[in-house]
Amino acid sequence: MDGVFSNYTWYELWGPVWIVVLLFLSYLYVRKIVASQFYEVTSRQVKFFFTAVVLLYAVKGSPFTVIANDYMFSAHTFQISIMFFVVTPLFILSLPVDFIRRYFWDYRMRNAIKLFAHPWMTAIFFNGLLTIYFVPGVFNTIQANVFYTSLAQTILMIHAFLMWWTIITPLPEVSKLTDFTRAAYVFCTAMLLMPIGIFLIIIEKAHYPVYAAVVDMMPMMTAVYDQQLAGGTLKAIQLTSYGIALFKIMMLWAKKEEDKEGQVDDENIRIARGVVIHLDDKK
């Protein structure tokens, strides 16, 4: 492995551009959000942010990027999965509600988010685009050009943000989805990526020639095994991420139902001569 890395410059191995960008984002987060008197930021949110920063650098700025770009398709799939299913929700969770309300729900952004963050539209677009991204013909064409690769991943990141916005619902007052609908949404989004995951796992022919050099990195690994490992990696990270989200939604739903126990709906109650009468809720 050392021999493989020796063919690359320090610039290619350690991504100084990513270091600068992530340090700048960290500075803005601390200076404009954490230290601001306008926002209440919890220690948990700070941990979410810096965990996302470290993970993003690990998969996009470290020597792992060389492996993901030139040697192992499974490493590239791991990189993509971490970006879209771990880093993106962590960044959303790291932002205080007042900050999101101020910058993402003002009169300039509200209509755009309402349109592009429509629940079922985001599910179809993100999962559909990610499936197309991994289609061999499309993937090989994109990977042949650095600009196409960057553009495709940027578009996917934007749609991942919109999808996770729907799942997390960072602004409670604008959420029109019931907990049941959100749970169904998470389940459906998980199912939409099932075909490409199964395709990568069961196919017995190598479809990604750009990663034919996988044997240089791991002599015991063939291109087909690498492809199958990629499918398993994609499904494992995706289902784990969605599973955690589904668990949180179900816990919140259960808590709401528990809080309702023992409460009385005063609008549907009448008292006549000391007798409590419950009226049918018909409008």
Task: Give the 3-state DSSP-derived string for 216-253, with helices as H, strands as E and coil as C.
Answer: HHCCCCCHHHHHHHHHHHHHHHHHHHHHHHHHHHHHHH
Q: Which of 85-89, 165-169, 177-181, 268-272 has the highest mean pLDDT?
A: 85-89
| Packing angle, helices 119-134 and 73-82, rounded to 10 | 160
Q: Is the dihedral of CA 49, 54, 57, 58 positive or negative?
A: negative
> What's the whole-number mean pLDDT along residues 177-182?
79
Instruction: Give the other-Cβ count within 10 Å of 77's Cβ.
Output: 24
Q: Is the dihedral of CA 110, 116, 117, 121 positive or negative?
A: positive
Q: Is the dihedral of CA 72, 149, 147, 132 positive or negative?
A: positive
pLDDT in tens, 14-38: 999 999 999 999 999 999 999 988 8
| Both structure tokens of 174 | 């604008």
Query: If we measure between CA atoms, which residue out of 136, 254, 250 comes closest to residue 187?
Result: 250
Percent of the chain with pLDDT over 90: 50
Q: Which of 27-31, 64-68, 112-116, 130-134 has the lowest mean pLDDT?
A: 112-116
- pLDDT surpassing 50 at residue 276: no
User: Which pLDDT band holds residue 184 (cuts at 50, 70, 90)?
Assistant: confident
Q: How confident is the model at residue 112, as a pLDDT?
A: 66
- pLDDT surpassing 70 at residue 88: yes
- pLDDT surpassing 70 at residue 271: no
Q: Say which residue, 70 or 169, is predicted with more confidence.
A: 70
Give the domain ranges of the chain.
2-252
Q: Which of 46-60, 99-113, 211-225 has the lowest mean pLDDT?
A: 99-113
Provide the mean pLDDT of the chain: 85
Q: Is the dihedral of CA 144, 71, 136, 58 positive or negative?
A: negative
Q: Is the dihedral of CA 35, 37, 41, 42 positive or negative?
A: positive
User: Which pLDDT band holds residue 150 (cuts at 50, 70, 90)?
Assistant: very high
- pLDDT surpassing 70 at residue 280: no
CA dist., res. 201 & res. 182, Å (int): 29
Query: If we measure between CA atoms, which residue out of 114, 228, 242, 133 comes closest to residue 190?
Result: 242
